[in-house]
């Protein structure tokens, strides 16, 4: 994608977190046109120094007036922070791409996966929502099939790594593993139970219907992104002792049978996907292979033996990268490419 000849004043809100540092790296890696960069976080993180394109930038505490000269905000500081500061950034003239769940189901806020619904950027009123990580990975993987033959029903089981709960959770998993190996009681601060050598249903709040918040995100967000309000979706989300990258087992039901080899060809040629299948070696997508990668690794595509119109597939994708930071940067690239970031505030590049 060739961006227009402008450079923008960009702020990362939540710059010191796992997704924030990945946003910083991706801005440089993908050569996003940044004129000035602000790194914002809580007061306790203010004063830290992070590098961008070889230059040190000091982290500032988010405060009134900090967005006055900002064109684009990449927010990944949590829902409570976004609810306070995203509207203020918009009032100051910036566009906000928010990684929290605060605005995802707001009818006035587009929820975007660029490989699926890029045209939705035209509908924004200042805030664009970045979907949940498991929703993003699933959407990228199944959209090519849905375009050929609309999906009638999705049954998903997720295997979610510690990275979904942030950098501290990843470190806690390491500490827990060592503690257990040393015969000690593993500490539990980020998670309610030990994750090392263990797994448990996702630790988000349970709804009255028996589904947890994470599962309901997958259901509701997929319907919104696909533009199918009555799409039948069920999910079971599980925390597993993996540092980084989520995996998902998906069962897809179509109205008519979907030829397996045709599905493989579609997936192999779809944007954002890498087909990984070695049937002789029983080698399919794994979190270790997906970590640090942009693509969603998809494989083990097969006929559902219990239903003539069903397909099964497996995926692994980097939760911090495509499941969060990369998707946000791709949305920013869409905005820049379409000239939707206010040019009056941007610096022309000669």
The torsion angles phi and psi of 133, rounded to 5 degrees, stand at -60, -45
Contact 117, 334 (CB under 8 A): no
The one catalytic residue among 190, 237, 246, 309: 246
User: Treating both helix axes as pointing N-terminal to C-terminal, what angle do 18-29 and 326-337 enclose, rounded to 10 degrees?
Assistant: 40
Length of the chain: 350
Q: In the structure encoding, which two tokens stand for residue 53, read together?
A: 């394109």
Of the candidates 133, 190, 212, 237, the residue annotated as catalytic is: 133
Q: How far apart are CA 63 and CA 40, in angstroms?
A: 9
Per residue, what are the HEC states of the chain? CCCCCEEEEEEEECCCCHHHHHHHHHHHHCCCCEEEEEEEECHHHCCCEEEECCEEEECEECCCCCCCCCCEEEECCCHHHHHHHHHHHHHCCCEEEECCCCCCCCCCCCECCCCCCHHHHHHCCCEEECCCHHHHHHHHHHHHHHHHCCEEEEEEEEEECHHHHCHHHHHHHHHHHHHHHCCCCCCCCCCCCCCCCCCEECCCCECCCCCEHHHHHHHHHHHHHHCCCCCEEEEEEEECCCCCCEEEEEEEEECCCCCHHHHHHHHHCCCCEEECCECCCCECCCHHHHCCCCCEEEEEEEECCCCCCEEEEEEEECCCHHHHHHHHHHHHHHHHHCCCCCHHHCEECC
Known active-site residue 246: yes
Measured between its terminal Cα atoms, the distance across the chain in Å is 19
Q: Any idea which residues carry the catalytic annotation?
A: 133, 246
């Amino acid at each position: 994608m060739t961006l227009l000849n402008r450079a923008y004043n960009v702020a990362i809100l939540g710059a010191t977190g796992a997704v924030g540092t990945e946003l910083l790296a991706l801005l440089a890696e993908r050569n996003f046109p940044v004129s000035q960069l602000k790194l914002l976080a809580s007061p306790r993180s203010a004063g830290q120094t992070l590098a961008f394109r070889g230059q040190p930038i000091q982290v500032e505490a988010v405060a009134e007036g900090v967005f006055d000269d900002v064109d684009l905000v990449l927010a990944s500081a949590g829902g409570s922070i976004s609810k306070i500061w995203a509207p203020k950034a918009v009032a100051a003239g910036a566009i906000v791409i928010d990684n929290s769940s605060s605005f995802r189901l707001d009818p006035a806020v587009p929820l975007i996966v660029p490989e699926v619904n890029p045209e939705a950027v035209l509908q924004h009123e200042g805030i664009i929502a970045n979907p949940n990580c498991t929703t993003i990975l699933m959407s990228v993987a199944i959209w090519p099939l849905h375009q050929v033959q609309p999906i009638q029903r999705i049954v998903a089981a997720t295997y979610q790594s510690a990275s979904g709960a942030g950098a501290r959770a990843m470190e806690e998993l390491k500490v827990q593993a060592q503690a257990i190996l040393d015969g000690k009681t593993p500490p539990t601060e980020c998670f309610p139970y030990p994750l090392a050598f263990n797994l448990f249903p996702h630790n988000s709040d349970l709804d009255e219907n028996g589904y947890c918040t994470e599962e309901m995100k997958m259901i509701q967000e997929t319907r919104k992104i696909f533009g199918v309000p009555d799409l039948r979706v069920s999910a079971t989300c599980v925390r597993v002792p993996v540092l980084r990258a989520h995996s998902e087992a998906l069962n897809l039901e179509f109205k008519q049978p979907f030829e397996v080899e045709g599905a493989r060809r579609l997936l192999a040629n779809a944007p954002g996907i890498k087909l990984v299948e070695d049937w002789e070696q029983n080698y399919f997508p794994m979190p270790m292979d997906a970590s640090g990668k942009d693509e969603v690794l998809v494989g083990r595509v097969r006929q559902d033996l219990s239903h003539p119109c069903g397909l099964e597939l497996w995926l692994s994708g980097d939760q911090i990268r495509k499941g969060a930071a990369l998707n946000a940067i791709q949305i920013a690239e869409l905005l820049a490419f379409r000239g939707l970031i206010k040019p009056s505030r941007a610096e022309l590049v000669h």
